[in-house]
Structure 1
């Protein structure tokens, strides 16, 4: 005949084994570390025990080392994947900021663009003119002003 305490222990062991199986199925083997430590029936893991203290230090050191390695690997992979794209985006932003710094005048064109941006048109807005007339500078400044004109409700994509 099993006591309630024995049944609890048996159920806990079953749950622990189920958890271990799930972890082994989900995690790569190199991310599963196995430690052997004597369990204290009264205190569980007792930091006052030399064996347990060494176990805890090793567990913490391994955890920090593994996490740092995984984070470093993920950051490097992200840099490799996004490198050219991020570089291009930064170049576009810097180009646009430079054009905005050089910008002056053209209030009449800006009034038309502002009306368009704040309006309900489904038609595309086309800005055209001869080479060197300032189209890029106008669009850079308009992109900069869109947030203000729309109370931060506009998404601006500039290329």
Structure 2
């Protein structure tokens, strides 16, 4: 493509700027650039021209080969850093330590990032932190955060972790696992418990028994419970956070929560979240004796929605016209769901002030907003490219 003036002539100013841009890019990045020279026909590429066909083939082959090299390099680097080992094998303990440290680091960083997106919820946040702080010195039940999908349970949990760490001892051991991080690959409860046990043992100076890597499910559960008691008796402070229990695999009837202790020892905090409509939540209600340990994440109020809009736009250094803001609030009122509002704002931050009301990408639900965004991508980049890219993402999960 070439920029032309209103009368159809080549835009000399735009061409001069393009030439200068190419020169700067080549001067600073010539070692990673591959130059291609081709003579245009009537200012554009003609897919029927033999030379142009060869040029397009060369570009595509070069892109594919370079992407393969970069992906392979990234995978090798990732595998070297993580040193992922199969539990139950005869690998050395230090290899397992490296693996669990890397896993713990990833989940902790994810939690720190997600906590930044929490606006409002101060009242619920304060109630949860107060309940955990008051139960520190006594035996207590796990703290359960529940709600419908998209209500912000994960972000709220991360914010609780951030707040409660300031209240608890500075040396408190944090163990956090996002069980839906690899959705739809549901995690095995044995894998989750083993990684937690190893992280706690490493952090608290406890020695995991040899059976930890080859024991049965019942032996693992016994070690997990005994480990919590040992940490409590030593006077160490431990915070275990498990997000989205409904995402656990069905192996060992994990959703029945037989593995989850209903009586948590002093100095140990167990904070979990789940969907209110899930089997895990139904079993949790049967497992715990009181309702004081349950905290529901409800819909946002209109005032909270307005506060989120202002905070989000301020962080993005963007603003909306009053008409646009009213349109966002009107769409948000349909669900009052944080995720729905976040999806709308992701699209709204790209709006211009002069865009007409009829052209605003809005939807009455999360599904509608996502459908519109995918449709816009297809219109901009082509259905084949978008469909192929999304297909690769699904396969990669």
TM-score by length of 1: 0.54
| Residue 150 of structure 1: how far off its partner (Å) | 6.5
What corresponds to 1:40 in structure 2?
A: 41
- The counterpart of 2:22, out of the listed 20, 23, 26, is 20
Q: Which has the higher strand share?
A: 2
What corresponds to 2:99 in structure 1?
A: 87
- The counterpart of 1:112, out of the listed 139, 144, 147, is 139
Distance 2:50 2:25 in 1: 29
| Residue 87 of structure 1: how far off its partner (Å) | 1.9
Give CA-to-partner distance per residue, 1:15-62, whole Å, 9 cap, x none.
212321343355461x311112111125x1000001101110111011
- The counterpart of 1:135, out of the listed 220, 226, 236, is 226
Contact 1:146 1:152 in 2 (8 A): no
Distance 1:146 1:35 in 2: 57
User: Structure 1's 27 and 66: CA in aligned 2 closer, same or farther, altered over 3 A?
Assistant: same
User: Structure 1's 45 and 144: CA in aligned 2 closer, same or farther, altered over 3 A?
Assistant: farther
Q: Does structure 1 residue 64 correspond to structure 2 residue 67?
A: no
- The counterpart of 2:271, out of the listed 142, 146, 159, is 146
Contact 1:24 1:32 in 2 (8 A): yes
TM-score by length of 2: 0.25
User: Structure 1's 90 and 69: CA in aligned 2 closer, same or farther, altered over 3 A?
Assistant: closer
User: Structure 1's 56 and 82: CA in aligned 2 closer, same or farther, altered over 3 A?
Assistant: same
Contact 2:82 2:103 in 1 (8 A): no
| Residue 137 of structure 1: how far off its partner (Å) | 5.5
User: Structure 1's 137 and 79: CA in aligned 2 closer, same or farther, altered over 3 A?
Assistant: same
Q: Which has the higher helix share?
A: 1
Distance 2:48 2:68 in 1: 28
Contact 1:45 1:52 in 2 (8 A): yes
RMSD over aligned Cα, in angstroms?
Answer: 4.3
> What are structure 2's unaligned runs of at least 5 residues?
84-94, 105-137, 145-163, 173-221, 232-239, 241-259, 274-292, 298-397
User: Structure 1's 123 and 81: CA in aligned 2 closer, same or farther, altered over 3 A?
Assistant: closer
Larger Rg: 1
Distance 2:28 2:269 in 1: 46
